[in-house]
Chain A
Amino acid sequence: MEGPLSFSANCRICEHAECVEACPVAAMWRDDTTGLVRVEDKRCIGCWMCIMACPQGSITNRQDRDEGLRVADKCDLCAGRDSGPACVEACPNNALLYEDRDESAKDLRTMKGSMHVFIESDDSANQD
């Protein structure tokens, strides 16, 4: 396709999220149940290690000196918004979709360098 291209939901919520790995206080954290990687504002110390780590440049710094706010910020798929991600709702051409998919993990491409290597877990060990 030629012409302008728009990116949305640019955080890919990587399986091995380098931002989570880089965060020294676990403010950037993956929720074990939803799998979503989010920043916990209250914990974030604004050290920008996540910005350094993210290979997509998906993390920005949100700050307000007067409010003493200085935290990392990223797409969280509009968590808590009843009608889902705002970008999907706003897109007039339905170019953006928000859906649950059962991605077959075995098709994952192995990325050298960033540790995006899929590891199969032992399901029997997880059943308590």
Chain B
Amino acid sequence: MKSKFVSIGYSAGAIGMVEAIRKVDKKSKILALTKENFTAYGRPAIVDYAMGKIDDDGIAYKGKDYSRMRGVDTLLGKEAVKINPVEHTVKTSDGMTIEYEKLLLNIGGRPISPPIPGKELKGVMYFFNIEDARQMRRMVLENGAKRAVVIGGGLIGLKATEALSHLGVSVSIVELAPAILSRGLDPVGSGLMTKKLCEFGVNIYTGDEVVEILGDKKVKSVRLKSGIVIETDMVFISIGVYPDTKLAEECGLKVSKGIEVDRNMKTSAKDIYAAGDAAKGYNFVTKENMVIAIWPVARKMGYFAGLSMMGIECEYDGSIPMNSLYFDDLYTISFGETNPRDPSSYEILERFYDSRTYRKIFIKDGLIAGAVFVGDISRSGIVKGMIYEKIPVASFMDKLLQKDFSFINAPKKYRDLIYTNPFIDLEAV
């Protein structure tokens, strides 16, 4: 089998690549292979899928129609096991050989599996892909599971909790750190989210950890370091994700806690590019390359990889960590620095508008370095945009915490910068 453009993995990175290529080149063959038995889908939407709010068509990117619309050939349920960068070939686990001219690695991450005794018991799961979401539904709806322990109170743990709670499952979260969501949110945001979870009957154990999962073939309970034993039908391990670099390493690519790429998404091997949760893209605030494992960043990296694969040299300007975290109707959006180790070197603006509406903005050297919005998240993107465009805030700093802060409060020069970007009719391009 042969294709000009090949992607190993069919998620946000591959979609970005396809969008870039198809903007210019409608004809060349694009092939995406994925080890999952499902076409490109919105991984962040597995929570809605697990809840039953959306079906197969709803989670599939652009409703299963995407590949046909963009002329992408797909190989589903196929795992790439070997890349030969010299011969430009990819071998699959079932012995197929695929020839490429340009290859994208959109391999993504894998959930961390901690050495907890008992993790092989039935009912111990992850919440990472669509299959995990299906399994969660089966366990609850078919096997009648009523209780769950979620190990790890980060983003994925929160999402698993939301889905479980929606399905009527009683959930206990066990988090090693003193607070849940301590990486994505500031302590205030984390506190408000904790309160929200408690309203929904979620039990939260912080500063504690699961030392053993107990049961006989099936999970029966977990034992915490503090000695507490929680009876349960399911355990979800969500302590983190690591970049899956095995394939890249084995074919000799430069890897160090993620696949190394330059600003054109090129890896250390000719004609091999990487994007997404396994690749270390540029972070323009810290000025270093790092994995920022979120959908928009993966898609943007994929877009630049696509340009680069077509020979269009367009330097990736970088991204920053950001997230939209929510539980039920409590929304939060945060980006950049939200929990600095050296708070004294930041000017910190913060305000409560009511008991559940809060905003905090970190300023360093006259520029916004990060922000947390809780409750009212509208217009938070404006602040994110100012980080991206490095807009000095001194002249309007007093407006940043106004409840109705909007684009109109931004300096005219900045508004002009964005407003002179006219509407573009793609047909005219």
A55 x B388 contact (CB < 8 A)? yes
A115 x B44 contact (CB < 8 A)? no
Residue B295 is within 8 A (CB to CB) of chain A in the complex: yes
CB-contact partner of B427 in A35, A57, A60, A122, under 8 A: A35
Nearest CB on B from A126, distance (A): 6
B48 x A12 contact (CB < 8 A)? no
A35 x B423 contact (CB < 8 A)? yes
Flag B296-314 by CB within 8 Å of A: 1 or 0 each: 1001100100010000101
A15 to B16, CA, bound (A): 15
A61 to B332, CA, bound (A): 13
Residue A93 is within 8 A (CB to CB) of chain B in the complex: no
B24 x A45 contact (CB < 8 A)? no
CB-contact partner of B25 in A101, A108, A125, under 8 A: A125
Write out the residue numbers on chain B whose beta carbons fall within 8 Å of the beta carbon of A83.
none
B61 x A47 contact (CB < 8 A)? no
Residue A3 is within 8 A (CB to CB) of chain B in the complex: no
A113 x B380 contact (CB < 8 A)? no
Write out the residue numbers on chain A whose beta carbons fall within 8 Å of the beta carbon of B382.
54-57
A21 x B299 contact (CB < 8 A)? yes
Q: Which residues of chain B in 312-330 are interfacial with respect to chain A, using CB atoms and an 8 Å cutoff? A: 312, 314, 317-318, 322-324, 326, 329
A113 x B423 contact (CB < 8 A)? no
Residue B420 is within 8 A (CB to CB) of chain A in the complex: yes
A116 x B421 contact (CB < 8 A)? yes
A43 to B64, CA, bound (A): 12
Nearest CB on A from B74, distance (A): 16
A49 x B384 contact (CB < 8 A)? no
CB-contact partner of B44 in A21, A47, A103, A126, under 8 A: A47
A126 to B419, CA, bound (A): 29
With A10-B407, A55-B382 in contact, is A48–B426 under 8 Å at CB? no
A52 to B379, CA, bound (A): 8
Flag B1-35 by CB within 8 Å of A: 1 or 0 each: 00000000000100010000001111100000000
Residue A30 is within 8 A (CB to CB) of chain B in the complex: yes
Residue B58 is within 8 A (CB to CB) of chain A in the complex: yes
A125 x B24 contact (CB < 8 A)? yes
Write out the residue numbers on chain A whose beta carbons fall within 8 Å of the beta carbon of B423.
12-13, 35, 101, 103
Residue B422 is within 8 A (CB to CB) of chain A in the complex: yes
Which of A29, A57, A109, A120 lies at the interface centre, i.e. has the most chain B CB atoms within 10 A of its CB?
A57
Query: Main SS of the interface on chain A?
Result: loop
Nearest A residue to B314 via CB reads: A117
Q: Which residues of chain A in 44-72 are interfacial with respect to chain B, using CB atoms and an 8 Å cutoff? A: 45, 47-49, 51-61, 63, 65
Q: Which residues of chain B in 334-388 are interfacial with respect to chain A, using CB atoms and an 8 Å cutoff? A: 335, 377-382, 384-386, 388
CB-contact partner of A57 in B41, B66, B381, under 8 A: B381
A35 to B58, CA, bound (A): 23
Write out the residue numbers on chain A whose beta carbons fall within 8 Å of the beta carbon of B420.
109
A89 to B299, CA, bound (A): 38
CB-contact partner of A119 in B16, B307, B418, under 8 A: B307
A112 to B414, CA, bound (A): 12
Write out the residue numbers on chain A whose beta carbons fall within 8 Å of the beta carbon of B381.
18, 51-57, 59
Write out the residue numbers on chain B whose beta carbons fall within 8 Å of the beta carbon of A51.
324, 333, 377-378, 380-381
Write out the residue numbers on chain B whose beta carbons fall within 8 Å of the beta carbon of A102.
428
B426 x A32 contact (CB < 8 A)? yes
B333 x A48 contact (CB < 8 A)? yes
With A24-B45, A45-B53, A61-B378 in contact, is A56–B389 under 8 Å at CB? no
Flag B408-429 by CB within 8 Å of A: 1 or 0 each: 1000000001111111111111
B428 x A57 contact (CB < 8 A)? no
A119 to B78, CA, bound (A): 34
B333 x A119 contact (CB < 8 A)? no
Nearest B residue to A14 via CB reads: B421
Write out the residue numbers on chain B whose beta carbons fall within 8 Å of the beta carbon of A113.
284, 317-318, 388-390
Q: Which 10 A-B pairs have the closest CB atoms?
A: A55-B385, A24-B42, A57-B379, A113-B388, A26-B62, A54-B381, A25-B42, A22-B296, A57-B382, A103-B422
Ordered by A's residue number, 29 sampled pairs between the chains whose C-beta atoms are within 8 Å are A5-B408, A7-B408, A12-B418, A21-B303, A22-B299, A24-B12, A24-B45, A25-B59, A26-B63, A30-B426, A33-B427, A34-B425, A45-B42, A45-B54, A48-B333, A51-B378, A52-B335, A52-B377, A53-B384, A54-B381, A103-B422, A105-B428, A105-B429, A109-B417, A113-B388, A114-B389, A115-B303, A117-B314, A121-B429
Interface residues of B (CB under 8 A from A): 12, 16, 23-27, 41-45, 48, 53-54, 58-63, 66, 284, 295-296, 299-300, 303, 307, 312, 314, 317-318, 322-324, 326, 329, 331, 333, 335, 377-382, 384-386, 388-390, 406-408, 417-429
> 16 other contacts beyond A113-B318, A115-B317, A128-B26, with CB at 8 A cut-off?
A25-B41, A25-B58, A26-B61, A32-B426, A33-B427, A43-B58, A43-B63, A52-B384, A55-B381, A55-B389, A57-B378, A57-B406, A112-B317, A113-B388, A113-B390, A120-B429
